[in-house]
A = this chain, B = another copy of it.
């Protein structure tokens, strides 16, 4: 079978590709070809695999001929991120809404109704004066995005549901939690510190935490996120239930709990490298985010959150060795 991963060179996408290639199959079908479409080149370990074909260009420009591939399955992860969409409204609309729609139309033109997993986001949720905002958002919570990024994700969820109803694709939207611990450098995103306060101290560097340690947030590890995307792909329509988006499992954790875990895993000296410097701008952004998330539908698919934040840190340390 022939699989497409858009954004397949990214943090989650490249890990998803690695898992799929290691498994060798998905949903009982042998993976013969894995196309990675991304504006950046994927990591070397993917380039070396003979099953991988790389297409390095903006996804929108790749869609005109994409129907010819007749992919059996698609993971659509390519997306402009939150900060980019706030800085450049038109870029966000083009990268997220136009690209998703053009991709869906290419798959519709192919005519084989491929399975289609869309990486939506916890960013579809937010507070609104007209509606109570629960401490823990569930699959039933009314999504009210507070960013352009969250707006695009939610619009695409509904677009995919309608393409699915029409039989053009077999689509499923999975809302990713904040994925941590991200390797690399701080990236300017307001959520960057959720990785930074673990990653930097483990590397012997000081990290700044811009919010109070009572702040709570739904997080997941890269491995559990990849497992979630694959499980959503492999679910029957009856198992997935309906066409609306689902939350992937979250560990709802406070900054203090994250740092307690860091101390247990790496010692008090490592923890002491985290300094608190309150940043009102970031704290205000974070105040608009869900404090926790839950998903009965994900549990029905056999998915579960990390049992504690210690295991998420340990996964990161293992990953860095590899």
Interface residues of A (CB under 8 A from B): 89, 93, 101, 128-131, 139-142, 144-146, 148, 151, 154-155, 158-159, 161-162, 165-166, 241-244, 246, 297
Of B148, B159, B242, B246, the residue contacting A151 (CB under 8 A) is B159
CB-CB < 8 A to A155: which residues of B?
A: 155, 158-159
Q: Contact between A139 and B130 (Cβ–Cβ < 8 Å)?
A: yes
Beyond A145-B162, A154-B158, list 7 extra A-B contacts (CB 8 Å): A128-B242, A131-B140, A131-B242, A131-B244, A140-B142, A142-B244, A151-B161
Q: Contact between B241 and A130 (Cβ–Cβ < 8 Å)?
A: yes
Q: List 26 A-B contacts (CB under 8 A).
A: A89-B166, A128-B241, A128-B242, A128-B243, A129-B241, A129-B242, A130-B139, A130-B241, A130-B242, A130-B244, A130-B246, A130-B297, A131-B139, A131-B244, A140-B142, A141-B142, A144-B161, A144-B244, A145-B158, A145-B161, A146-B165, A148-B162, A148-B166, A151-B161, A151-B162, A155-B155
Q: Quick one: closest B residue to A245, CB to CB?
A: B130
CB-CB < 8 A to A242: which residues of B?
A: 128-131, 144
CB-CB < 8 A to A89: which residues of B?
A: 166
Q: Quick one: closest B residue to A132, CB to CB?
A: B140
Distance in angstroms between the alpha carbons of A9 and B101 in the assembled complex: 31
CB-CB < 8 A to A241: which residues of B?
A: 128-130
CB-CB < 8 A to A140: which residues of B?
A: 131, 142
CB-CB < 8 A to A159: which residues of B?
A: 151, 155
CB-CB < 8 A to A297: which residues of B?
A: 130
For the complex of A and B, the 9 pairs showing the least CB-CB separation, nearest first, are: A130-B242, A128-B242, A130-B241, A151-B162, A129-B242, A155-B155, A129-B241, A151-B158, A142-B142
A166 nearest CB across to chain B (Å)? 6
Distance in angstroms between the alpha carbons of A89 and B101 in the assembled complex: 13
CB-CB < 8 A to A246: which residues of B?
A: 130
Q: Quick one: closest B residue to A151, CB to CB?
A: B162
CB-CB < 8 A to A128: which residues of B?
A: 241-244
Distance in angstroms between the alpha carbons of A131 and B244 in the assembled complex: 9
A58 nearest CB across to chain B (Å)? 20
Distance in angstroms between the alpha carbons of A130 and B244 in the assembled complex: 8
Distance in angstroms between the alpha carbons of A217 and B89 in the assembled complex: 40
Distance in angstroms between the alpha carbons of A241 and B127 in the assembled complex: 12
